[in-house]
Amino acid sequence: MADLDAFLRQDLAEAEARGLRRRSQVLDPLGGPRFQDGRQKLLSFSSNDYLGLARDPALQEALCAGARAFGTGSGAAHLLGGHRSAHAALERDLAAFTGREAALLFGNGYLANLGAITALLGRDDHIFADRLNHASLVDAALLSRARLQRYRHNDLQHLEALLQRTPARGRRLIVTDGVFSMDGDLAPLTALAELARRYDAWLMVDDAHGLGVLGSTGRGSLEAFSLSPQDVPVLMGTLGKAFGVYGAFVAGSQSLIDFLQQRARSYIYTTALPPALASATQAALLLVQQDHWRRQHLQTHIQRLRQGLKSLAWSLMPSDTPIQPLLVGEAEAALNLSQQLRQQGFYVPAVRPPTVPQGSARLRITLSALHQDQDVDALIAALQDCHHAS
């Protein structure tokens, strides 16, 4: 058998040679969307902190107060003594915010998807999933052992054909991202809800990138499409993106939440979130609801960026959300463009296979409510320079 290190080194070298080696960067916050890597100052267009809440003083205050009241860790799983009033209050608030009977906190979005899907579906059941769904939904489906059928991205005809072809035995779940994380486009939720009704399936939406951002009051993709809880009985939301903290939840009927509490293994067999994070998230929830200006800024920036990048060699993918990917094509070209921008003081990561399909490497530009008009203009100018130089 090959030596372990030799095997690992060879794998890494292959990724490197193909321009696919990924590396995390040390980026420390300077204020707003500005970060520092050693001595280089960078204007970032990479964060999912869309509303700019992650460094908000009100959240920091709530986090510190929470830590003083509850300590740094919960010390146990929810069902074994780790559940605090901060968790309970946040669950009530999230249920009210999403217009549902109840909500259940999970450690993060990955765990929430694993927990909900593996609890709801088993060996004799069927999962219909958009091909571009987040990796955690794919992993959840595989772990559930249900039959997984993936339909072409947002292709309702393909989905309907799969639904028709599938025997009526077993439970059926249609699951989709609300906003696709690497493309920024929306799922056709009204039509998906209609198909779910017609073909006797449950619909689950992962609204990691919609919640807080979409809809006039930030209630996410479902608000954008005016859908009711009956249309989408299982809603997953994350707390580490627009909410600026960490964690995730599933919201739904009281029975769904009671059931998940009994059956979702990634809820049961893991330490409860630090309660101070729940305190900080309650503060975030207030700002998400009050600060309409944050969503308005995002809208202005989206229009400004799309207008400014119209005549570039690379084109922005169709998207009305703060995720504005610039399609480049080959992995190395995307990496090269990202590096050129970095030399000019911008941090815009390249996203390459296997995160996105072969030949569709891109710069994942994300906008924040804390960007200024000048920041967006500076990125447009830098990309135009790269375009002329290439």
Q: Closest distance between ligand PMP and the C-beta of residue 389, in Å?
A: 32
Instruction: Say if residue 126 is exposed, middle or buried (CB neighbours under 10 Å; 0-12, 13-18, 19+).
Output: buried
Tell whether residue 181 is among the known ligand binding residues.
Answer: yes
Q: Closest distance between ligand PMP and the C-beta of residue 387, in Å?
A: 29
Q: Is 181 a catalytic residue?
A: yes
For position 240 contacting ligand PMP by CB under 6 A, the verdict is yes
Instruction: Give 350's strand partners.
Output: 363
Q: Closest distance between ligand PMP and the C-beta of residue 109, in Å?
A: 2
Question: How are strands ordered across the β-sheet holding 346-347?
Answer: 28-31, 34-37, 40-44, 346-347
From the list 43, 208, 283, 363, which residue makes contact with ligand PMP (rule: CB under 6 A)?
A: 208
Closest CA to 136 of 156, 99, 109, 102: 109
Is 49:287 a contact under the CB 8 Å cutoff?
Answer: no
78, 87, 209, 371: which one is catalytic? 209
Tell whether residue 172 is among the known ligand binding residues.
Answer: no
For position 273 contacting ligand PMP by CB under 6 A, the verdict is no
Is 82:75 a contact under the CB 8 Å cutoff?
Answer: yes
For position 248 contacting ligand PMP by CB under 6 A, the verdict is yes
Q: Which stretch binds ligand PMP (CB under 6 A): 206-214, 258-266, 285-293, 322-330?
A: 206-214
Q: Closest distance between ligand PMP and the C-beta of residue 246, in Å?
A: 7
Is 196:187 a contact under the CB 8 Å cutoff?
Answer: no
Tell whether residue 109 is among the known ligand binding residues.
Answer: yes
Neighbours of 259 (CB within 10 A): 16
Q: Is 241 a catalytic residue?
A: yes
Instruction: Say if residue 14 is exposed, middle or buried (CB neighbours under 10 Å; 0-12, 13-18, 19+).
Output: exposed
Q: Which stretch binds ligand PMP (CB under 6 A): 90-98, 107-115, 221-229, 284-292?
A: 107-115
Of the pair 208, 341, the CB lying nearest ligand PMP is at 208
The DSSP letter of residue 248 is E
From the list 49, 56, 91, 177, which residue makes contact with ligand PMP (rule: CB under 6 A)?
A: 177
Helix or strand or coil: residue 161?
Answer: helix
By CB under 6 A, what part of segment 330-369 binds ligand PMP?
A: none
Is 288:51 a contact under the CB 8 Å cutoff?
Answer: yes
Of the pair 237, 275, the CB lying nearest ligand PMP is at 237
Q: Name residue, tokens 């009704």.
A: 197
Q: Give the type of residue at 295.
A: R
Tokens of 186: 């929306």
Catalytic residues: 181, 209, 241
Tell me which residues touch ligand PMP (CB under 6 A): 108-110, 134, 136, 177, 181, 206, 208-209, 238, 240, 248
Q: Name the binding residues for pyridoxal 5'-phosphate.
A: 109-110, 181, 209, 238
Q: Name the binding residues for substrate.
A: 22, 134, 355
